[in-house]
Homo-oligomer: A and B are copies of this chain.
Amino acid sequence: MADFDADLDRSSPVPLYHQMAEQIHLAIRTGRLAPGALLGNEIALANEFGLSRPTMRSAIHELVEKGVLVRRRGVGTQVVQGPITRSVQLTSLFDDLVKADQQPRTSVLLHEITPAPDDVAAALKLPRRQPVLHLRRIRYANHHPLAILENYLPHRLLEVTAIDLSRHGLYDLLRSGGVRMKVAKQRIGARDGSAAECSLLNEDTDSPLLTMERVTHDDTGRVVEFGRHLYRPSLYQFSVTLVGR
C-alpha cells in the first residue's frame, strides 16, 4: 500500500481531481511510487485525502488515459512499467522544444495572403480561391534545421507579423489571439524530399523525410488551421501512447 502525501488546495481554480492526478503522477516520476506498485483502493485513498470517491476515481482515470496507471477489477491499480514517454499533445513543436531546452529558432520563408488552392480550401472547408494566410517556416533546434512547416489559416483569423512568428510557436500565437484549439487530426507518412527541401534541411538529395498533415478545429468545431510539415527523421520522430478499452 504505497502512501504518499499531497496537498490539495480547495480554493484553487484547478479542479481537485486534476490536482490529485498531478500529485500521483509526481509521486511516480520521483520514484515514491515504483513501477508495478499498487495504489490503495479508491475509497481508502479518497478518505485519506478528504475527497469523495468519484473525485478520486476521476483523478485515477486521468492517469489511466495517459497510460501511466493500469486498473484491474478485483485486484487494484498499478503503476505501468517503464519510462513514460509523453504522448503527442495538442501543442506546437516549438513549445515542445522550448520545454526540452533545445534552443528552437524559427525562420520565416513566406508570409502572405493568397487565394486558397483547391486542396487547401477543401481542408479548411472554405470556398475555392478564398483568401487565406499562407506561412512557410523552417524550425531549427540547436542550430540544426529540423523541419519545414507549411501552414494555411483562414484569412483574418490571426494577425501576425514575421517577427511574432520567429519568436513564438503558431499554436501559442493562436491561443493568445483568442483561438481555442480543441481537436486536431494528423496523418503521418514518409517520402523522399525534393532537391529544394533537402537543401533547406541540410540533407543529401533524395533523403527520406517524415511527412505530417494536420487539420485543427477550434471550440466551435470549425477548421482553424491546415498544415503540411516535413521533418528530418534523424532528428525527430512521433511518439504516441495508446490505451486500450
Residue numbers of A with Cβ under 8 A of B are 35-36, 65, 67, 70, 72, 78-82, 85, 88-90, 125, 180-192, 206-211, 215, 217, 219-223, 233, 237-245
Contact = CB atoms under 8 A, between A and B. Distances in A.
A57 to B, nearest CB: 11
A36 B219 CA distance: 11
A242 B90 contact: yes
Nearest to A65: B65
27 contacts: A36-B220, A70-B183, A70-B219, A78-B220, A78-B221, A79-B221, A80-B183, A81-B217, A81-B221, A82-B125, A82-B215, A88-B242, A90-B244, A185-B239, A185-B241, A185-B242, A186-B239, A186-B241, A187-B238, A187-B239, A188-B188, A188-B237, A190-B209, A191-B208, A206-B206, A208-B208, A238-B240
Contact of A70 (B82, B211, B217): B217
B35 A67 contact: no
Contacts of A78: 220-221
A64 B233 CA distance: 32
A116 to B, nearest CB: 16
